[in-house]
A and B are shown apart, each in its own frame.
Chain A
Amino acid sequence: MLKSRITRIIAGILACGMVFICAAQAANVFSKSKAKYEIAYENADQRLESETEMNNLYRKLMIAGYMYLGHLDVNGKYQGTQYAEKQTISVLQDLGIMNDMGRLDIDCSKDFEYRVSINENDYSNTEKTHDQLSGQYSVMGVNGDVMSSNYFHCWYNDGMFNWFTTNYGMTYYYIGGNGYAIFDFDTKDCDSYVDELGATIYYKLDGTTPIPYDYIDMTQYMVVEDEQTYSFDEYDSYNDGAVYGNQVDDITVIEEQANAEEATENPENIRPTLPVIDEDAFTKTQMPEDGIIITIRPSDEIIASIESEKSAEKEADEYVATKLVNLIPYAVIAAVLALYVLIAGGYSKKEKKFVLTAGDKVFAELYIVIGAAAFFGAVCCCASIDELVDFFNRCYTPDTLPIISGAAAAAVCGILLLVVNSLIIRLKCRSLLKTSIIGRILIKLWELSKKLWKQVKKAAVQIYKKAVKAKTKFLEDMVSRDMLRNDKLTRSFILRTGIAIVLAMIACLISIWVSNSPDSAVLLIIICGVIILSVYIYFSLADLKAIQRLNEHISAVNSGDYTERIEALDSPIYVPTEKLNNISTGIQGAVEKQLKSERMKIELVTNVSHDLKTPLTSIISYIDLLSAEELPPAAMDYVKIIEGKSQRLKTMVADLFDLAKATSRTDMQTEEIDAVVLTNQVLGDMADKIEASGRMLKCDIQAESASINADGKKMYRVFQNVIDNALKYSMEGTRIYLTLKNENEKCSITIKNIASYEMTFSPDEITERFTRGDESRSTEGNGLGLSIAKSFTEACGGSFRVDIDGDVFAAIIEMPLSC
């Protein structure tokens, strides 16, 4: 039952109700107690009046004590010049603490009894001693340290009295926030002003003033009050008008006067020093050795009134306290209920766990703002409770206040409970972040950073894997000693750059620290920067040279120079150079191997053809001998056949040999030749053959010349073979077309003919070795012609292809033009 939602709601409402009761009761108590306190403070005004009076009295006693009593000798005679006494008396009379007779007469009601003692001189309006006067309600001050009574506050605390004497006849007192200047010289002809503390200060017409300090800086001058004298020069340098704010105009007037009287050219004469008064004629007064004691005791009447006030106040306090204690159980119940709500809040009986309700899915910030507003509103109301109470008392009947304040308190409590409960439920469900804007942003950021970290990690892992792979591979190639030197270039670069950056930073800091102006700092930084940069470049150049060497090495290898290069073991390019050396050796080996195998191939072909040629030589020789013999006609025919075939065999062996050589591309003598000239030469060379074949050869040369780089003999073979082929396999009576033209930086020669048979082969097949157009192989030829043509063309850097379009057979030779 405790776990169900409804219980919680009831508990919450109950708690609010308790708060309502508490607040209403409290408000009631406060409003009632107010009346009681008012009774207690009925006489407060009177008391405050007394306090002011007491403070005035205290001040007067202080002045009288310090300025007058302190300077009296045991006989009650003033210790000082007559003039000073006169001045003092005049000041005291001005203050109303001395009568016309020159006797102290402090006007005071009978409310206070007082005594002031200094230097065994004292003054009082009572017979009582200090001890008798002192008590719970009295104020007593010893040497400025004031002991205020519990009921009267004394405003004049310590530090309120200072005095000093100048060497030109002035004693300045600073008592209780007021200044009093006593002059020991005739002030008849002097002008005067009143300083900030109220003391009348006289000054001569020459513009000098005798008060050498700003009262604010009093303590500073206290030290020198006894012995040190002041010259007006010093004084002038300290104060230039500012201190005498209200006197500046006067001084200006004086200056003008002085200017009128004296030569204006000499500004130093404007303020001549005040003539120093004869020290012998001026008797310095002494500070009283014994401390001053002031005691003031209020009258019994006042004491009685204070006591009655106190007891009334106490009574009111007790009333409030007892009433409020009665509310504690309610408060406790409210607190327990609230605690229960907070602890059990959000639990779902159905799901047996804490769940979020719809309200808990609203952004948490909103709740917090509402809660905070309610809380601070309540705090503000409490702070200004007096005004509120007054307001209610004025506007409504006193009974409304408890209801309204109770309702307000209950509402605030309800809101706070809701807010805190919702927040706690979110915490319980671990979804506080999810349901707040800031939290969501944080979550997003966290996810983003997680994703980023994942990617970074992935990349790092990949790099690491690659690095490990590279390392493993590297280890296979190199001994571990070299691995350390592998990345020397990078390492030294990073180290160098790091040092340079750190140095630059240090230089910046030092520059800023050392120099006293931004300009010089910038200059220093630039100088340091230049130095650091030069050193950096100097060290970088060494590496650059090494890289250049490496580059040269690579270029050399590229151009086929495989000579090994030696680098110092500590050189940054030691490892790359070694690797390059290895590569060079490898390439060299491979090239040599290739060349060797080529040579072997040629040798093989040569040997084979030699082996073929030797028996063929015998055959041909003996056939020749045989044909010279007298043979029966039939045998003669046979010999003729054998002769023909042996001739073909001979050509074939030669062709085979040529083909092998062309494929291996050895024995090439490339020079710059003219394809046009070559074509004409071939045509001239074969003119008889063409004529004998009965075919027409139509020649269309579309270029003046066509320079190509090729082996003339080989190209002759190509042309010869192609034309032979055309003559052999073209239909009788048809024309053969030869076209030569330059296009796209190529010289292309096309020989077209109409085949005398159906071409069932593909263009690729016909250029294969031993492929013949007519499958019956009835005509002469060995099937090597086009294949040789193709090989030779390719060996010369050109291309050879065959196009078949119906019965039209076209051989296309393309050679790159050399210019």
Chain B
Amino acid sequence: MSTTTVAHHDDHAEHPTGIMRWLTTTNHKDIGTMYLTFSLIMFLVGGAMILGIRAELFKPGLQLMNPDFFNQLIGVHALIMIFAALMPAATGFANWMIPLQIGAPDMALPRLNNWGFWLLPPSAILLTLPFTLALFGIGDGALATGWTFYPPLSIQGGIGVDFAIFAVHLLGISSVLGSINVIVTIFNMRAPGMTLMKMPMFVWGWLITAFLLIATIPVLAGAVTMLLTDRHFGTHFFDAAGGGDPIMFQHLFWFFGHPEVYILLLPVWGFIPQILETFSRKPMYGYKAQVYSLWGIGALSVVVWAHHFFTAGMPVPALLYFMYSTMAISLPLAVLFFCWIKTMWRGSMSFETPMLFAVGWIILFGIGGLTGLVLADVAADAQYHNSYFVVAHFHYTLFAGGIMGIMAGTYYWLPKMTGHMYSEKLGKLHFWLTAISFNMTFIPQFFLGLAGMPRRIPDYALQFAEFNMISSIAAFTLGLSQLLFVYNIISCARGGKKATDKVWEGAQGLEWTLPSPPPYHSFTEQPVIK
């Protein structure tokens, strides 16, 4: 791993211009910007796909697409949103903010960092290319198994599955490289005097995320590799006829898949308290309790995976174990919720856009967490499993808990990154449109699930028609509202009111001691923390 580039780059602040700047850059701010831009683009691509789904579900019956294409859209939507939108967004913030928050001149492994990013566009192409190939009569389209790749369906599937497997390999390598970089940066590059327990919460959240990624992504890589050899090289890992077991894939997949949920959320749990303390103008409540809770959740997240397939069949003691351990996660999570609320308690609060998103985030993510508790109950899960209740639940955790959190972070740090203030008016409008249409999209889905509507099916019984129509209309509103977000970001990057160095009156932390935007090379002399 070439780390000598740190020295090389310090010699001159000049960088190549045009496309070569972005292709060859090893600067953490440039790479962070590329991650965030890529994430925003893929967020729109994944969103467009799901609007196709919602359009089909607008009315009962098949109107717009055949069921196979419907299945492809669902699986690729999930893979894109998780691996190409949420994860790169978190990594983008990590690149931008971790060096600034710990007072480091750059990430520890800048060339690796560049490589980590440039693996992403090819994998996004691998994921979506089969759609285009199918138009020319090559193959039968993208992966149609849902993002979970369950065999035997994924073994019988077409070339889309192979494309998705290779995309997952690339995405996995990219996030493992990113994680190694984050851990090395945090352990070796902190400013003198910044002990671990003085680190900003975002840095803590990312440190745990990075360890989870290193522990679980290789398991996913192994599982999809077994799938690949089952498909093409005559092995029978998941084929019962050859002595394998399809259920084993579910164990392998969710051994990765459940920690993945926390991989997506931990960085957000890191910076939300920072936003709360900024706009409550008082220090974060329970710093230590939050750090220990983050570790607790990180540790528990790798031992609860089988609650994703209670209905696949398990001995009763195993069911009980996975139920209780899953429910145990709500204890440290409750500690976090109390700390977040107590941070705001009797604060001198103001509601700029980042704070609006953060407060809305607490409520909506709370709903996601509570409905998860219902699903963790083995007896209740038998009814909810694979229904729209599950879909609504994980969108409350991943759209509200993940993406709305990322939006809060975007508005919070955008003035720092660009040097300009975004339009507060448009930001607030974006928040209210997003929050309302999000709830209108997914609250009906809770009830659809309770009434028995299964997920991943392009057609439905007539009694589900009204709620699906409401959900579809709201989903289109939600999707179109995001154009405001894109417009606000672009216009903020191009100009606008100059942002001050501190940007927010109550902002805490090293990143706010730098000018807005920070110079290309910052903290070449490390600050000393008292």
B is bound to A? no
What is the interface of chain B, defined by CB distance below 8 A to chain A? none
